[in-house]
Amino acid sequence: MNRREFIGTLAVSTPAAAAAADEQRPTGTSAASEPRPLTITLLGTGTPAPSMERQSSGYLIEVGTDLIVWDHGPGAHHRLIQSGHRTIDVTHAFFTHLHYDHCMDYGRLVLQRWDQGADRIPDLQVYGPPPLARMTEQLFGPDGVYGPDIRARVEHRSSLDVFEARGGTSPRKRPAPRVTEIHAGSIVQGNGWKVTVGHAQHVQPYLECLALRLDAKEGSICYTGDSGPSDTIVELARGCDILIHMNHYFSGTEPTPAYRAACGNHRDNAIIAKRAGVKTLVLTHLLAQIDQPGIREQIVHEIQQVFDGKVVWGEDLMRLGLSGSRVSTIEPGQHE
Which residues lie near Zn ion (CB under 5 A)?
A: 99, 101, 226
Q: 68 - beta bridge partners? A: 61, 92
Q: Which is closer to Zn ion, CB of 115 or CB of 226?
A: 226
Q: How far is the CB of 127 from Zn ion (least distance, A)?
A: 17
Indicate the residue among 226 and 241 with the shorter CB distance to Zn ion: 226
Buried b (16+ CB within 10 A) or exposed e, 105-125: bbbbbbbbbbbbbbebbebbb
Nearer to Zn ion, 101 or 316 (CB): 101
Residue with smaller CB distance to Zn ion, 127 or 140? 127
Q: CB of 262: closest distance to Zn ion in angstroms?
A: 8
Q: How far apart are CA 327 and CA 219, in angstroms?
A: 9
User: How long, in residues, is the chain?
Assistant: 336
Give the phi and the psi of residue 301 in degrees, each rounded to 5.
-60, -45
To Zn ion, the closest distance from the beta carbon of 233 in angstroms equals 14
User: Does residue 95 contact residue 24 with C-beta atoms inside 8 Å?
Assistant: no
List all residues 6 or more positions away from 181 whose beta carbon is below 8 Å from its beta carbon. 127, 128, 129, 130, 132, 133
Cα separation, 16 vs 8, in Å, equals 10
User: Cβ of residue 195: shortest distance to Zn ion, in angstroms?
Assistant: 19
On whether the CB atoms of residues 56 and 69 are closer than 8 A, the answer is no
Minimum distance from residue 206 beta carbon to Zn ion (Å): 10
CB of 57 to Zn ion, least distance (A): 5
Of 62 and 226, which CB lies nearer to Zn ion in the complex structure?
226
245/95 Cα distance (integer angstroms): 15
Residue with Cβ nearer Zn ion (107 or 175)? 107
Min separation Cβ 223 and Zn ion, Å? 12
CB of residue 94 to Zn ion, shortest distance in Å: 15
Distance of CA 276 to the CA centre of its chain: 23
Q: How far is CA 26 from CA 89, 122, 258, in A?
A: 12, 11, 51
- If the CB atoms of residues 99 and 199 are measured against Zn ion, the closer one turns out to be 99
Nearer to Zn ion, 64 or 225 (CB): 225
Contact 58, 70 (CB under 8 A): yes
